[in-house]
Structure 1
Amino acid sequence: MHDDFGLHCLQAFSRVVPASCFAFYQVDPHLRARDFQLLRMDARTHRDYLNHYRDFDPLQPALCRDERRAVVPLREAMARQADNSRRIYQGFLVRHGIRDVVEVIAHVRQRPVAGVSLLRLGTQPPFDADELQRLNGLRGLLDLAVRQLPAAPAENDGLTAFTPREQEIALLLREGLSNKDLARQLDMGLATVKTHLIHLFRKTGARSRTELVRKLFP
């Protein structure tokens, strides 16, 4: 069922906006992409992404949660990214000849539940404003369609003991964000970020950010 659904979505998107390759995925309760369905994508590229680069991807669901901006171009996402993560991810793009990417995120009850990635390779031009507008129209249909999907299972249930805001911070910590990046991403002050981090350290008994992430995501 999921494979058929994902493939139909990818074929529909490919008819509206041309791209070199596409990926459909579901989003689990911890805002992690999983259950990928690929169309014309090199398996080696996808494997390299999953094994080495997904945590540096500025278009991953944990960083693209705003329902009002559900069509996200790569250039916009990278502009909000920390410098070190941006450099690492640019290395992946260059290595695989990826010219541009746009992410279309489907929401149910204001929560991201699935997404479609469109990639252009080689000499293909970047996605233009007209194409992004067409994708935004198609995204409304995707929002309706994904309601028939079963919920993606969580990777783990290790965050259920924390408040929703602490869970958000924990997910972003796993992606390597600094306190400054956390404040910008969550639209809160640095002092508030530090307070939430103190609570996470106390609840887990962790003594460093690395140990905290390891305890939260065993």
Structure 2
Amino acid sequence: MLLDDRVSRLVHEVYEAAENPDAWQIVLQTVAELFEAPMVSLLEHRPTDGPDWVPYSVGLDPAFVSSYQKHYSKCNIYLEHALPILREGVVLPHQAYCEDAEILSSEYYNDFQRRLGLFHVTAGVVSVAQGRFLMLTINRSRYQRPFSPEELDKLEFLVPHVQRAWRIGKRVRDGGGAAVDPAILRKTFALTATEASFAALLATGHSTAQICVQLRIRISTARTHLRHLFQKTGTQRQPELVARLLKGCRADSQV
């Protein structure tokens, strides 16, 4: 598959969201534009311990999010039919598991989807953990064309990046409240004392601007530290760097 500029930009935005969760809204807006979709969401399906969770969405009014989570997630015919075949990393258009006629006669479509003007649904499964399924869902109206094989290929390309970014973000959030010992980072990655202090703050969720204030350094110095950290950890993006630093700390603590 040849990547156009929009897909490349989208991948960059996905990794930005790993560091800044608010940027998931930007990611979803770009997905909506790329796939000509009036509604896109990150949705966690919780079949055994619901209700479902919709952390981010584009094209879905908050009142409808609330309505979905409180009631309509329990009668989502798409997920009822897809559940047996949901696996991490798969991309599924609804035509793969549910007949259009069955959808059109369902409570979910008539009382919820139709009010939103939605019908065609394609989902990429981002993660499966503890009986919960996090999915990137893309929705079109009944009067739009179904998703093409080329569009499904694009989503299949995108899903692994969303998986990595979501996992990196989770590690950052989980590790954000805990202290990171600069001495461990210095030993693990052969850092200087100043680089280790910078890396410890970065790993605990501080922005570059915040680190500059705390360490009383210039932004140009911060960029130099970042460049050295990328080289010494074998990473290229800041979210990957943070994940590598946190992993290095955990590995040392288990020795």
Q: TM-score range by the shorter chain?
A: 0.5 to 0.7
Secondary structure of 1:78's match? coil
Are residues 4 and 84 of structure 1, via their aligned partners in 2, closer, same or farther at CA, if it must alter by over 3 Å?
A: closer
Q: Name structure 1 gaps, 5 residues minimum.
A: 153-218
Are residues 84 and 12 of structure 1, via their aligned partners in 2, closer, same or farther at CA, if it must alter by over 3 Å?
A: closer
Equivalent residue for 1:203? none
Equivalent residue for 1:87? 106
Equivalent residue for 2:116? 96
Q: Does residue 13 of the first structure (1) align with residue 39 of the second (2)? A: no
Are residues 115 and 69 of structure 1, via their aligned partners in 2, closer, same or farther at CA, if it must alter by over 3 Å?
A: closer
Equivalent residue for 2:238? none
Q: Is the 8 A contact 2:86 2:125 kept in 1?
A: no
Are residues 9 and 112 of structure 1, via their aligned partners in 2, closer, same or farther at CA, if it must alter by over 3 Å?
A: farther
Secondary structure of 2:126's match? strand
Q: Is the 8 A contact 2:45 2:132 kept in 1?
A: yes
Are residues 147 and 37 of structure 1, via their aligned partners in 2, closer, same or farther at CA, if it must alter by over 3 Å?
A: same
Secondary structure of 1:14's match? helix
AA at the equivalent of 1:97:
G
Report the Cα distance in structure 2 between the residues aligned to 1:84 and 1:119, rounded to whole angstroms: 14
Q: Does residue 127 of the first structure (1) align with residue 147 of the second (2)? A: yes
Report the Cα distance in structure 2 between the residues aligned to 1:86 and 1:110, rounded to whole angstroms: 32
Equivalent residue for 1:46? 65
AA at the equivalent of 1:18:
E
Q: Is the 8 A contact 1:58 1:77 kept in 2?
A: no
Equivalent residue for 1:117? 137
Report the Cα distance in structure 1 between the residues aligned to 2:23 and 2:135, rounded to whole angstroms: 12
Equivalent residue for 1:170? none
Are residues 26 and 99 of structure 1, via their aligned partners in 2, closer, same or farther at CA, if it must alter by over 3 Å?
A: closer
- Spell out, residue by residue over 1:3-53, the C-alpha distance to the aligned partner (whole angstroms, 9 max, x if none): 415324313423532201211234669575324212122334333322332
> By how many angstroms is 1:56 displaced?
1.6
Q: Is the 8 A contact 1:99 1:125 kept in 2?
A: no
AA at the equivalent of 1:7:
Q
Give the RMSD, CA atoms, in angstroms.
3.9
What is the TM-score when the length of structure 2 is the normalising length?
0.46
AA at the equivalent of 2:56:
Q
AA at the equivalent of 1:16:
L
Q: Is the 8 A contact 2:28 2:40 kept in 1?
A: yes
Secondary structure of 1:124's match? coil
Equivalent residue for 2:208? none
Report the Cα distance in structure 1 between the residues aligned to 2:141 and 2:64, rounded to whole angstroms: 12
> By how many angstroms is 1:58 displaced?
3.6
Q: Is the 8 A contact 1:67 1:110 kept in 2?
A: no
AA at the equivalent of 2:29:
Q
Report the Cα distance in structure 2 between the residues aligned to 1:99 and 1:29, rounded to whole angstroms: 22
What is the TM-score when the length of structure 1 is the normalising length?
0.53
Equivalent residue for 1:162? none
AA at the equivalent of 1:9:
V
> By how many angstroms is 1:138 displaced?
0.8
Equivalent residue for 2:92? 72
> By how many angstroms is 1:68 displaced?
6.3
More helix by percentage: 2
More strand by percentage: 1
Q: Name structure 2 gaps, 5 residues minimum.
A: 1-18, 174-255
Equivalenced residues, count:
150
